[in-house]
Amino acid sequence: MSRSRQDVIEVAGRLFAERGYHATSMRALGRELGLLGSSLYAHIQSKEELLVAVVEDGARFFGAAAAAAVGDTPEAELKSLVAGHLRVIAEHPNQARTFLAEARSLDQALCDRIIAARDHYEEAFRTVLRKGIADGSFRVDLDPKTGSIFILSMLNAVERWYHPDGPMDQDALAATLSDFALRAMRR
């Protein structure tokens, strides 16, 4: 069976999400793909190259979600950010989990690049919190950095327990978590 580089990246992403980067061997990856080591290395040069690809996909998905967030008010924009984050977790669980949990396994230069992407993403949350403080819809004593960490910590935990076939669909979950976040941010 012929496999593409993208096939290799997708299977690596699933294994990294299920087992972790360090617990995923190239041999296990080859078995999953039905490829021998030499065939696998025709697609990639190293396991770290695969981690970079999966983590960058996750960063790209989260960044696109933030860029697409809209709202007429800071509250509406925050709801859109929350829904977008949850959409990435639901639609791209392997990339999301690997981005959130395994980026620290990269060498320092690559890790710095991913941290910069993460910081850019987090800035979208801080910006909307600043807007809400400025227009009076959020507490004036709210620290945007702490508020964004609170919201993202809550959202990032979802990838550990959310299942699309569970009792709450994605829209209901977004509404519930947005409500939690907004209650903490409001005056």
Mean pLDDT, the chain, whole residue set: 92
| Segment (H or E) for 78 | helix 74-91
Please report the pLDDT score of residue 14 as a whole number.
96
Distance CA 41, CA 98 (A): 22
Using alpha carbons, select from 18, 17, 37 the residue that is nearest to residue 26. Answer: 37
Q: Judge whether residue 104 has pLDDT over 90.
A: no
Quick one: the chain helix, strand, coil %, rounded to 5? 75, 0, 25
For 35-91, the pLDDT digits (tens) are 876 677 877 888 999 999 999 999 999 999 999 999 999 999 999 999 999 999 999
**Domains with residue ranges and CATH for the chain:** 52-185 (1.10.357.10)
**Residues 74 and 138: beta-carbon distance below 8 Å:** yes
**Residues 59 and 111: beta-carbon distance below 8 Å:** no
Q: Of 36-50, 62-76, 97-111, 116-130, which gets the smallest average pLDDT?
A: 36-50
CA separation, residue 58 to residues 43, 73, 95, 153, 187 (Å)? 20, 27, 5, 16, 34
Please report the pLDDT score of residue 44 as a whole number.
85
